[in-house]
């Protein structure tokens, strides 16, 4: 098996990239459709990363990155992701990918606010590897002020955790991809379509795996989003990197049923002081992520939401709030242990639109599903981030790019064992 | 602790019940409110059973049983419950209650179609206690015809399982309660309300724990349900036996937040021949319950549905069905192993109203929550059945009745250990 060196060398001789790609940000910029070797749908962190890695690993492949909104999409999961890298909860055989992702986050994307920051998980009960919470929190007055250590007397610490901004990562990856020759179109809703004769599963000699239909969007004076014009082009390879919408697109546009699901996660704000040294806290599945001088609360995802669910604000003692009921219940249950949750510092809102939230993909339908890519049909790939994208997303995007480039080795591979 | 004998003897001297109670089936029958010692809201199997056991254990307590619909309610969980008694999945310390429930089902309620019937669970993989599926199914041609034993080659058998009709049980229990002196009002929507001064937590010397507001319902010529008249009365004790609506009532009417949740379960029909000897089958959580010459399919409940969820039919290859998406996916995944699921024999329907379904209470918010009763406030009790009500429901209803009667022993108690 090839080692690290081969990852930088395309399988076929490459025409070197000639300068940056073209960016179409709005419908005022004319677009003449052409065919591409690769079209990536979605410029969240997963789509932007696979685009960048493809430009690095296979610069001979022309590439178009399409995004329905801006960079990153304000409705997508990337912007709301906690941005907490931690090895906790990963299976051992994904640790090398996690470490590689961490080194990329640290070095490859400029200022995405990467910083090591301990993650302290708090418990009601003691156990292996748990220490007194008061000791663990002692160096961090901001964190201490949040926690009632009588209610949560035990802690374990991940000193190797780190935080960063997934939105900044997506933006940096997309910009680097463009500098490396990728074309990028924003405000473009796109879908993959099977070739007209439907013979998608037949390997096509000319390598044109799919058609892509692009609707360029604009906004009217009355703030309605309309389709300005529609284009069609052919792509040798299509990557669906549409986050929680990917499985729906696979089924609706390509007739490929998958086992993936989604959940709606809200990230309310807790306006309690935090700084660059404040650790990330976790209790009963709730993550408190220091951000912008306060905290962003990231509730646990327990399971998929059912098909047809429309997020709705719940009521707290009769008063409408912007938090979905299930999240509200979890915060209420923690109010004794984390007293600021019971104060005005918690941004409850009045309706669902008051609290930031996004649909999160659940790979394999599981709340602990790991990022993955999957071949839906010849030349059409689904790429999913999900709950562990903070820790593993870049490696999985790189893995897909390397596979599309025809490479066998991966940069996180161990050296092959010596022959015996 | 008192033994079995004391369970039959009320703690306070009883005025013996004098003949059957009064039944108000429709608004044409005049009702003059009076106070009751006990009012039970909901005449599903849990409410009907607690009413009957109260008449047996505490005949000195006057009792009114209220039901919003008929007997049993067509929208409730009782009528759709599988009616499969099995000790599988129960904690050891509830086995005595389960056995007592089984003996009650067998002997105490007349013809509720109780019959022993093996439960055969099928697996893809072998394991402890599993035998070849072909052998387990050999005596049962109807069941054999359902299963591809190449896909599901292993089985385990609960030879002690039994089936019965929960709807018939609820009806029999309510009728027996009336014969034993309980009053019963149908088509009566009721809610508990705190005493006007709000001092519910104060033990009230006269024992009047709550007010009950009753709206008697009738149906107009245009099939609209309207409130015909409203009554108020006082009750010493109120039991909320409202199934999945109980926790909402506790919160909305009494301000008592609970941890309970609910899930919407559909029970589609599989029109494949079955008889009295056909075993109950189970595979990947799906229970196939022989009923009326065919099978009723009872999907597993995996977790709560979110607040605000409105059940919707899913689509199968673009065609609308009456099954919710999550259930549809599970049936599709089993079509190879249970081939009749892939045929017209499966009643998919065209919209959600085509497939029978009901909201199921999840005690403690858990899909495996056991039946329970819980004191919400002095004199107000919540009684929940949920997924294991088939096996444990009667014992839990009896336990509440015995507690309200002031009894300490329970009929399933072991004899006290000999003193040493």
Domain boundaries, given as residue ranges, for chain B: 4-78+167-261+367-413, 119-158+268-355
Query: For residue range B144-157, what is the model confidence (pLDDT) as tens digits?
Result: 999 999 999 999 99
- What number is the average pLDDT over the span B404-418? 88
> In what order do the strands lie in the sheet containing A84-85?
A84-85, A162-163, A115-116
Rounded Cα distance between A402 and A381, Å, is 13
How far off is chain B from A316, nearest CA to CA, in Å? 10
In the numeric block, the tokens 């905290």 are attached to A295
Query: SS3 of B234, please?
Result: strand
Kindly indicate the confidence band of residue A209, based on its pLDDT and cuts at 50, 70 and 90. confident
Among A12-21, A257-266, A382-391, which stretch is predicted with the lowest mean pLDDT? A12-21
Is domain A119-158+268-355 annotated with CATH 3.40.50.920?
no
Q: What is the DSSP string of A274-317?
A: --TTPPEEEETTEEEEEETTEEEEEPPP-SPPPTT----EEEET
Interface check for B319 against chain A (CB to CB < 8 A): the answer is no
How far off is chain B from A319, nearest CA to CA, in Å? 12
Residue of A361, A404, A399 whose CA lies nearest to A258: A361
- Inter-chain contact A306–B317, Cβ cutoff 8 Å? no
- What number is the average pLDDT over the span A55-68? 97
Smallest Cβ–Cβ distance between B307 and the set A259, A307, A326 belongs to A326
| B residues 230-289 lying closer than 8 A (beta carbon) to A | 255, 257, 259
In percent, how much of chain B has pLDDT > 70? 92
The answer to whether residue A141 scores a pLDDT higher than 70 is: yes
Query: Which pLDDT does position B69 carry in this prediction?
Result: 93
Interface check for A322 against chain B (CB to CB < 8 A): the answer is no
Among A203-207, A349-353, B106-110, B174-178, which stretch is predicted with the lowest mean pLDDT? A203-207
Kindly indicate the confidence band of residue B200, based on its pLDDT and cuts at 50, 70 and 90. very low
Report if pTM > 0.90: no
Sign of CA dihedral A85, A88, A92, A93: negative
Q: Which residues of B touch A304 (CB under 8 A)?
A: 326
Rounded Cα distance between B357 and A290, Å, is 45
Rounded Cα distance between A2 and A403, Å, is 13
CA A292 to each of CA A100, A159, A255, A379: distance values in angstroms, whole numbers, following the listed order: 27, 22, 43, 42
CA B102 to each of CA B99, B161, B361: distance values in angstroms, whole numbers, following the listed order: 5, 9, 22
Query: Which pLDDT does position B255 carry in this prediction?
Result: 87
The answer to whether residue B7 scores a pLDDT higher than 80 is: no
Interface check for B357 against chain A (CB to CB < 8 A): the answer is no
* Angle, CA of B40, B41 and B46, to the nearest 5°: 75
Q: How many CB pairs under 8 A join A and B?
A: 50
| Pair of tokens at residue A142 | 């901001």
Rounded Cα distance between B177 and B189, Å, is 20
Q: Which residues of A touch B308 (CB under 8 A)?
A: 309-312, 324-325
User: Are A35 and A379 spatial neighbours (Cβ–Cβ below 8 Å)?
Assistant: no
Q: Burial of A13 by CB count in 10 Å (0-12 exposed, 13-18 middle, 19+ buried)? A: exposed
The answer to whether residue B64 scores a pLDDT higher than 70 is: yes
How far off is chain B from A1, nearest CA to CA, in Å? 34
Side-chain-facing half-sphere of A384: CA atoms under 13 Å: 32
- Inter-chain contact B310–A307, Cβ cutoff 8 Å? no
Interface check for A311 against chain B (CB to CB < 8 A): the answer is yes
Smallest Cβ–Cβ distance between A305 and the set B255, B257, B306 belongs to B306
How far off is chain B from A334, nearest CA to CA, in Å? 13
- What number is the average pLDDT over the span B337-347? 96
ipTM given for this complex? 0.82
Interface check for B325 against chain A (CB to CB < 8 A): the answer is yes
Strand A225-240, strand A380-384: pairing? parallel
Query: For residue range A359-410, what is the model confidence (pLDDT) as tens digits?
Result: 999 999 999 999 999 999 889 999 999 999 999 999 999 999 999 999 999 9
- Inter-chain contact B308–A304, Cβ cutoff 8 Å? no
Rounded Cα distance between B226 and B189, Å, is 11
Q: Which residues of B touch A259 (CB under 8 A)?
A: 329
The answer to whether residue B291 scores a pLDDT higher than 50 is: yes
Interface check for A368 against chain B (CB to CB < 8 A): the answer is no
Smallest Cβ–Cβ distance between A307 and the set B255, B314, B332 belongs to B314
In the numeric block, the tokens 């309207």 are attached to B226
Helix (H) or strand (E) holding A221: none
- Name the β-bridge partners of B131: B155
Smallest Cβ–Cβ distance between B312 and the set A304, A308, A325 belongs to A308
Query: Which pLDDT does position B34 carry in this prediction?
Result: 94
Query: For residue range A74-111, what is the model confidence (pLDDT) as tens digits?
Result: 889 999 999 999 999 999 999 999 999 999 999 999 99
Kindly indicate the confidence band of residue A203, based on its pLDDT and cuts at 50, 70 and 90. very low
- Inter-chain contact A304–B325, Cβ cutoff 8 Å? no
Interface check for A325 against chain B (CB to CB < 8 A): the answer is yes
Same fold, A4-78+167-261+367-413 and A119-158+268-355: no
| Pair of tokens at residue A333 | 């249950």
Residue of A323, A311, A329, A314 whose CA lies nearest to A349: A323
Kindly indicate the confidence band of residue B419, based on its pLDDT and cuts at 50, 70 and 90. low
- What number is the average pLDDT over the span B281-288? 97
Rounded Cα distance between A401 and A405, Å, is 6
Best A251, A308, A366 residue to mutate vs chain B (most B CBs within 10 Å): A308
Q: Which residues of A touch B324 (CB under 8 A)?
A: 306-308
Interface check for B336 against chain A (CB to CB < 8 A): the answer is no
Query: Which pLDDT does position A200 carry in this prediction?
Result: 43
Strand A372-377, strand A380-384: pairing? antiparallel
How far off is chain A from B255, nearest CA to CA, in Å? 7
The answer to whether residue B203 scores a pLDDT higher than 50 is: no
Cis check for the bond before A273: say yes or no (omega within 30 of 0): no
| Cα–chain center distance at B192 | 21
Smallest Cβ–Cβ distance between A307 and the set B303, B304, B326 belongs to B326
Smallest Cβ–Cβ distance between B309 and the set A259, A306, A332 belongs to A306
Smallest Cβ–Cβ distance between B309 and the set A257, A302, A309 belongs to A309
The answer to whether residue B213 scores a pLDDT higher than 80 is: yes
In percent, how much of chain A has pLDDT > 90? 84
Interface check for A332 against chain B (CB to CB < 8 A): the answer is yes
CATH of domain B4-78+167-261+367-413: 3.50.50.60
Taking residue A414's Cβ as centre, other Cβ atoms within 10 Å add up to 7
- What number is the average pLDDT over the span B228-232? 94
Interface check for A310 against chain B (CB to CB < 8 A): the answer is yes
Q: B318: nearest CA in chain A? A: A252
| Pair of tokens at residue A93 | 């055989």
Interface check for A113 against chain B (CB to CB < 8 A): the answer is no
Interface check for B351 against chain A (CB to CB < 8 A): the answer is no
Mean pLDDT of chain A: 91
In the numeric block, the tokens 């549905």 are attached to B305
């Amino acid at each position: 098996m090839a080692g690290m060196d081969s990852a930088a060398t395309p399988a076929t001789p490459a025409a070197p990239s000639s300068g940056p790609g073209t960016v179409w940000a709005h419908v005022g910029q004319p677009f003449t459709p052409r065919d591409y070797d690769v079209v990536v749908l979605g410029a969240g962190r997963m789509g932007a990363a696979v685009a960048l890695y493809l430009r690095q690993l296979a610069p001979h492949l022309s590439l178009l990155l399409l995004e329905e909104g801006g960079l990153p999409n304000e409705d997508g999961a990337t912007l709301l992701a906690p941005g907490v890298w931690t090895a906790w909860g990963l299976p051992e055989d994904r640790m090398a990918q996690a470490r590689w992702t961490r080194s990329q986050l640290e070095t490859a994307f400029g200022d995405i606010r990467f910083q090591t920051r301990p993650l302290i998980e708090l418990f009601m009960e003691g156990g292996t590897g748990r220490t007194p919470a008061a000791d663990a929190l002692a160096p961090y007055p901001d964190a201490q002020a949040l926690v009632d250590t009588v209610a949560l007397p035990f802690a374990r610490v991940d000193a190797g955790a780190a935080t960063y901004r997934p939105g900044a990562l997506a933006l940096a990856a997309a910009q680097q991809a463009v500098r490396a020759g990728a074309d990028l179109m924003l405000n473009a809703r796109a879908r993959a379509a099977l070739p007209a004769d439907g013979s998608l599963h037949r390997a096509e000699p000319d390598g044109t795996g799919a058609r892509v239909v692009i609707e360029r969007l604009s906004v009217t004076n009355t703030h309605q989003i309309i389709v300005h014009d529609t284009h069609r082009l052919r792509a040798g390879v299509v990557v669906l990197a549409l986050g929680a919408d990917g499985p729906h697109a696979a089924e609706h546009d390509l007739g490929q049923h998958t086992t993936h699901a989604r959940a709606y996660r809200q990230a309310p704000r807790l306006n309690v002081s935090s700084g660059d040294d404040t650790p990330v806290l976790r209790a009963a599945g709730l993550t408190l992520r220091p951000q912008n001088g306060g905290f962003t609360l990231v509730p646990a995802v327990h399971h998929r939401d059912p098909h047809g669910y429309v997020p709705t604000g719940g009521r707290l003692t009769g008063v409408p709030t912007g938090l979905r009921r299930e999240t509200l219940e979890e915060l209420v249950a923690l109010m004794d242990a984390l007293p600021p949750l019971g104060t005005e510092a918690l941004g409850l809102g009045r309706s669902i639109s008051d609290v930031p939230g996004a649909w999160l993909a659940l790979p394999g339908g599981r709340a602990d599903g790991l990022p993955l890519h999957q071949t839906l049909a010849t030349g059409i790939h689904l790429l999913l981030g999900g709950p562990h994208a903070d820790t593993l997303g870049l490696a999985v995007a790189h893995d897909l790019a390397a596979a599309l480039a025809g490479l066998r080795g991966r940069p996180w591979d161990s050296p092959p064992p010596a022959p015996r």
